[in-house]
Copies of this chain bind each other. A is one copy, B any other.
Amino acid sequence: MVVVMKNNSTPEQIKSVTKKLEKLGFKTHIIHGTKRIVIGAIGTREDLETMNLERLPGVERIVPIMKPFKLVSREAQETDSIINIKGVNFGGNNITVIAGPCAIESREQLLTAAHMVKKAGAQVLRGGAFKPRTSPYAFQGLEEEGLKLLREASQLTGLVTVTEVIDERSLNMSMDYVDILQIGARNMHNFQLLKVAGQSGKPILLKRGLSATIEEWLMSAEYIMAEGNNKVILCERGIRTFETYTRNTLDLSAVSLVRQLSHLPVIVDPSHSTGNTKLVPPMSLAALAAGANGLIIEMHPDPSTALCDGHQSLTPDELNLLMKRVTRMLEVLSDDSAVEMEDVVNG
């Protein structure tokens, strides 16, 4: 960390700051700049929050140097994490597709959806049993009944399953029914839930918050890993910006960057981010080109009757077509690695 002193700070103030830093276990380096004194302090960043150096006389501001995440960082683990769930792998060179309806509405709806997801070639079935809704008057999910249907769909099709949990109760209830627990965008900052998710030992699909920075997103993954659970799959789902023509702004640079900063797999949700079925196919391909390890796509057997998010759900035919295009994209991307290899060898 760097402590920037005010341009009129006194020698006593500088002494007092270095003393406090050293008392806290930091080594200090005083640098006499052209206009002001700057103190370099060597230590670990988490101490920062309890030091309140800005309140010491003469201090102008603190500039942190180190990134705060540890376990999730590429520096902690150089190679990609590969998360194996009943034979389905997330991470590394695998491209994994999750598909299914926003909400589980009925046995017929879910089983039909599951068969279509299977047929299209996706590996994981999604379906919401607990729905966080902006309006208290909207459909809130089938809860345990939905979880049972999800398990049944999995048994019939062999698909791995994922469902969103919204609190400790729904998390506990889901443990025996589903394979992956999703923490939604609105709960990315629900640190209590992150801890319980970490303790559960289950694979966790962690969506980025609506206005979460990349740093905060990785710190939420750090919460889960700090409890000893390494099975974290990150999911970019669009951030909130001033643009209103799309529901959110899908941040694909974040995907590329997080692949560099962290060893964890990152997938992309083109359905919630755009809120527009016409944008789902191009954004799916773009996500893979940007380096995403997979996709999570809303598909409904009959979107126009869906109880939730029908406007952004693909039909089964649209999913089929998209999966074909995904397969082609995979070929070029692996060819592409070949190009890179060849160039490195030759060049």
Q: A residues touching B (Cβ–Cβ < 8 Å)?
A: 2, 4, 7, 29, 31-35, 38, 40, 42-44, 46, 49-56, 63, 65-66, 68, 75, 132-139, 166-170, 186-187, 189-193, 195, 210-211, 213-216, 219, 222-223, 226, 239-246, 249-254, 256-257, 260, 273-274, 276-279, 282-283, 285-291, 303-308, 310-311, 313, 317, 320-321, 324-325, 328-329, 331-332, 335-336, 339-340, 343, 347
Chain B residue, CB-CB nearest to A306: B52
Residue contact A213 to B52, C-beta cutoff 8 Å: no
- Docked Cα-Cα span, A253 to B303, in Å, equals 22
Residue contact A2 to B54, C-beta cutoff 8 Å: no
A-B contact pairs, 20 of them (CB 8 A): A2-B40, A7-B75, A31-B42, A33-B65, A34-B42, A38-B40, A49-B135, A132-B191, A134-B219, A213-B242, A214-B243, A246-B257, A249-B253, A250-B251, A256-B282, A283-B290, A320-B343, A324-B343, A325-B340, A328-B335
Besides the known contacts A54-B310, A166-B192, 6 further A-B residue pairs in the complex with CB atoms under 8 A apart: A49-B138, A166-B190, A252-B252, A285-B336, A328-B336, A329-B336
Residues of B close to A55: CB separation below 8 A: 277, 303-304, 310-311, 313
Chain B residue, CB-CB nearest to A256: B282
* Number of copies of this protein chain within its complex: 4
Residues of B close to A246: CB separation below 8 A: 253-254, 257
Residues of B close to A56: CB separation below 8 A: 304
Residues of B close to A44: CB separation below 8 A: 34
Given contacts A42-B33, A65-B63, contact A274 B253 (CB under 8 A): yes
Task: Please pick, from B216, B249, B339, the residue contacting A239 in the complex, using a CB distance under 8 A.
Answer: B249
| Nearest Cβ on chain B to A21's Cβ, whole angstroms | 13
Residue among A34, A66, A192, A278 with the most chain B CB within 10 A?
Answer: A192
Residue among A55, A132, A226, A321 with the most chain B CB within 10 A?
Answer: A55
Given contacts A216-B134, A321-B343, contact A243 B239 (CB under 8 A): yes
